[in-house]
Amino acid sequence: MKNPLLKRLKREFKSEFSKYLVIFIFMISVIGFVSGFLVASSSMIKANDESFEKYNIEDGNFELYAECTDQLQTELENSGVELFENFYVEKETGNVDSTLRIFKNREDVNKICVMEGSLPDENGEIAVDRMYADNNDIEVGDSIVIDSKGYKVSGLVSFSDYTALYSSPSDMMFDSVKFGVATVTNEDFESLSEDNMHYCYSFTFDDEPKDDTQAKEMCDDVIEIIAEHTLPVSFIPGYSNMAFNMVGNDLGNDKNIVIMFLYIVVLIIAFIFAITTSNTIIKEAAVIGTLRASGYKKREIIAHYMTMPMIVIVVSAIVGNVLGYTVFKNVAASMYYSSFSLPTYETVWNMEAFLLTTVIPVVIMFIINFVILCNKLRLSPLKFLRRDLSMSMSKRALKLSHKLPIMFRYRLRVILQNMPNYIMIVFGVFLANVILLFGMALPAVIDNYQNEIVSNMVCDYQYVLKAPVETDVKSAEKFSVTSLETLEGKLKSENVSVYGITDNSKYVDVDLSGDGVYISNALSEKFDVNKGDTLTLKESYGEDEYKFTVDGIYYYPGAIAVFMSDEMFCETFDFDSGYYNGYLCDEEILDIDEEFIATKITEDDLTKTSRQMQTSMGSLMGLLSGFGILMFMLIIYLLSKIIIEKNAQSISMTKVLGYKDSETSSLYILSTSIVVVLSIVLTIPVVNYLMKYLCDTMLTQYPGYLPYFVPFDTFIKMALCGIVSYCVIAFFEYRKVKKIKLDLALKNRE
């Protein structure tokens, strides 16, 4: 015999169609996006892991001031290290405001993946990084001007050792807008490398290291051998090279964040279903009592009330996964391709993604609803028939003072009677504000960082020389610079620029006459070093350590830096008096040959972090802001709908007593409005504190310093977004209140 309770499901679905439709669409979107994200990221992680062997990615690289001697090369090879020439030149492009790092065609190490077109076969052709090309609107067949000569773009490629376009290991962020990598034919490379050649060598170990610890020990042996013969310009171990390691780190971190987000959303939806079902049980208590008295078992009634929530979550999970593998997978992949210069990948079936986005959400929904229903239905049939659903012997309402205005007491009573719903509203608003602030705060943090750097530059141009060279530019001021590292501790070891500044410098306004040093505020705030402390730094490629007393903090947010007098610099690092290796200048120096210039630092170099973050995360921030608002509206709509339905009989009674629809709405909708507005306003400071903690924790793992700063008007915008969104919900609430009929007050009288 067919269960007659099944007939109620169709009627329940029709009566609650709007609720189920909203939840269905929302869950499909969330599960679909997360599923697509996990599928795309796991496929890319697999492709990234395989790329180390497929493209023979280096175990490290170093740069010398001249070509490697035969003696050094032989000694390295005897120690189990295979050496490869990976020379490059850096050239500014004429028709695009950018710098290209140009290599020869590669055959043995750090091979190249061709994404579109082909590698250069003839002179006058060039293949450029795909992401750099996308950011600068360059396509196959276009021309790039280098040294006043046009090179035809033969292909768009991905360099296996530059999946993140870091021009320097000390950079906080890569730059795919004004920095790119490219390859040309051997003949073209020889013509381009007449000056400013970078003698870079990649190396691989004959015996592959088991882990990063062993890799570090092996790389330490390599740098010791190099240091016995010459001083390297730079040395980058493979395990710490962010240019090809950042992708793997980022993909893994994003996966955990997205999964956590999914489960939080599923928990909220599960509790909303549970609250809805609880209110339905209260409304249909007499019916349940009759069914129980007629012989229906508790498990049959539990199964009935769990059917619709489970159908919604199961169908949402299935449809969401189908969309995840088709539509959302491409959306997630495009987000990664807009940030990283990834090689091609193949979509792989991900059983873990299916379990995480389908099985576990269904289990969570089942457990929460089952536990709450079991708790609600444990009463005897007689209690249900009497509509006495209290768990205790006596349940008294909280007494409210008669001195309070009656309307105020009424609204307060509505809030107290619907406390579980309002608690969920507060939690939902909090979570929505977290998402909304993340979407709105990060652009503000980036803009503030860029403005601070630009307005606090010591000069427009910093030139670091390979050897001291004189210039006739009058505004040029000599300085010295070297690089040290912080000690490994709570934070990773990080490069520190150490400046030797002349007395009465017109660019760096600090008193360096004492025995100590000044440090940049970026170093002070990131590593918690203050005036009077002792700062210990070590050599990048040696064992020596240096201790400095901090005399003060110099406001310079653009770099992790130390400032000392030029006399102290020469004495500390054993240089002759009067030594210098750079110029600070407010105008471009043109009378020094490029071959003597090691580095030129301009505003573009200092703002690459903010520029790249805007490029990579701009669309994501808008997506997060929109999702935060959507989630806020969903939670408020569902829970306020429950509150009105739960109090439908009381609302009907107020109408019988002569209250107008607007007056009745003011009692119930205004109560919800008070809770919503207070939740929005009061959770913003908590969310801001949480976001500051998360950003500080996350950003300190990267080189450089990006301070957390959100202007007050951002919080105003957040509050307005929430309030305006709620006004839309309140309109639908008012319509629902108007639809409640007067005769409802005469039914189910107790």
Least reliable range by pLDDT among 193-207, 218-232, 275-289? 275-289
Query: Residue 622 pLDDT > 70, yes or no?
Result: no
Q: Which two tokens stand for residue 749?
A: 């009288």
Query: Residue 750 pLDDT > 60, yes or no?
Result: no
Which of 544 and 173 is assigned the larger pLDDT?
Answer: 544
Question: Averaged over 475-491, what is the pLDDT?
Answer: 84
Query: Residue 41 pLDDT > 90, yes or no?
Result: no
Q: How far apart are CA 642 and CA 265, in angstroms?
A: 19
Which of 89 and 595 is assigned the larger pLDDT?
Answer: 89
Q: For 665-685, how does the pLDDT look when each residue is reduced to its tens digit (9 = 90+)?
A: 777 777 778 888 888 889 889
Q: How far apart are CA 102 and CA 119, in angstroms?
A: 13
Q: Which two tokens stand for residue 575?
A: 């240089």
Residue type, 567: E
Q: For 451-462, how does the pLDDT look when each residue is reduced to its tens digit (9 = 90+)?
A: 777 777 888 888
Query: Residue 618 pLDDT > 60, yes or no?
Result: no
Query: Residue 158 pLDDT > 80, yes or no?
Result: yes
The predicted pLDDT at position 393 comes to 45
| Mean pLDDT for the chain overall | 81
250 three-class SS: helix
Q: For 379-401, how does the pLDDT look when each residue is reduced to its tens digit (9 = 90+)?
A: 888 887 777 666 554 455 567 66
Least reliable range by pLDDT among 134-148, 255-269, 503-517? 255-269
DSSP string for residues in 323-361? HIIIIIHHHHHHHHHTTS----------HHHHIIIIIHH
Q: For 550-591, how does the pLDDT look when each residue is reduced to its tens digit (9 = 90+)?
A: 999 998 887 888 999 989 999 998 888 888 888 999 888 888
Question: Averaged over 268-285, what is the pLDDT?
Answer: 73
Strands (E), 48-163: 60-64, 81-85, 88-92, 99-104, 112-117, 125-129, 143-146, 149-159
- Going from the C-alpha of 18 to that of each of 15, 23, 25, 134, the distances in angstroms are 8, 9, 11, 43
- 710 confidence band (pLDDT: 50, 70, 90): confident
Which of 234 and 656 is assigned the larger pLDDT?
Answer: 234
Residues present in the chain in total? 750
pTM above 0.75, yes or no: no
- Could you give the percent of the chain with pLDDT greater than 90? 14
Burial environment of residue 272 by CB neighbours within 10 A (0 to 12, 13 to 18, 19 or more): buried
Q: How far apart are CA 202 and CA 107, in angstroms?
A: 13
The end-to-end CA distance of the chain, in Å, is 35
For the chain, the C-alpha Rg in angstroms (whole number) is: 33
Cβ 237 vs Cβ 334: under 8 Å? no
The predicted pLDDT at position 1 comes to 45
> Pick from 560, 491, 552, 490: which is nearest to 517 by CA?
552
Q: How far apart are CA 710 and CA 444, in angstroms?
A: 6
Q: Side-chain half-sphere of 684: how many Cα atoms within 13 Å? A: 21
Q: Side-chain half-sphere of 374: how many Cα atoms within 13 Å? A: 6
The predicted pLDDT at position 348 comes to 79
Query: Residue 306 pLDDT > 80, yes or no?
Result: yes
Query: Residue 316 pLDDT > 90, yes or no?
Result: no
Query: Residue 182 pLDDT > 80, yes or no?
Result: yes
Q: Which two tokens stand for residue 406?
A: 């009656």
Least reliable range by pLDDT among 21-35, 156-170, 651-665? 651-665
Query: Residue 202 pLDDT > 80, yes or no?
Result: yes
Which of 108 and 631 is assigned the larger pLDDT?
Answer: 108
- Going from the C-alpha of 203 to that of each of 49, 216, 237, 618, the distances in angstroms are 19, 14, 10, 37
282 three-class SS: helix
Which of 264 and 166 is assigned the larger pLDDT?
Answer: 166
The predicted pLDDT at position 394 comes to 47
- How many angstroms from the chain centroid is the CA of residue 654? 50
> Pick from 616, 674, 645: which is nearest to 733 by CA?
645
The predicted pLDDT at position 620 comes to 61
- 130 confidence band (pLDDT: 50, 70, 90): very high
Query: Residue 97 pLDDT > 90, yes or no?
Result: no
- 747 confidence band (pLDDT: 50, 70, 90): low
Question: Averaged over 499-506, what is the pLDDT?
Answer: 89
Residue 460 main-chain phi, psi, to 5 deg = -75, -30
Query: Residue 270 pLDDT > 80, yes or no?
Result: no
Question: Averaged over 153-164, what is the pLDDT?
Answer: 91
Least reliable range by pLDDT among 409-413, 606-610, 736-740? 606-610
Which of 548 and 385 is assigned the larger pLDDT?
Answer: 548
Query: Residue 521 pLDDT > 70, yes or no?
Result: yes
Question: Averaged over 46-66, what is the pLDDT?
Answer: 88
Which of 449 and 617 is assigned the larger pLDDT?
Answer: 449
Query: Residue 500 pLDDT > 70, yes or no?
Result: yes
Q: Alpha helices of 16-110 — where are they, by DSSP H?
A: 17-54, 70-78
Q: How far apart are CA 715 and CA 749, in angstroms?
A: 48
The predicted pLDDT at position 268 comes to 73
- Going from the C-alpha of 228 to that of each of 222, 224, 274, 544, the distances in angstroms are 10, 6, 71, 15
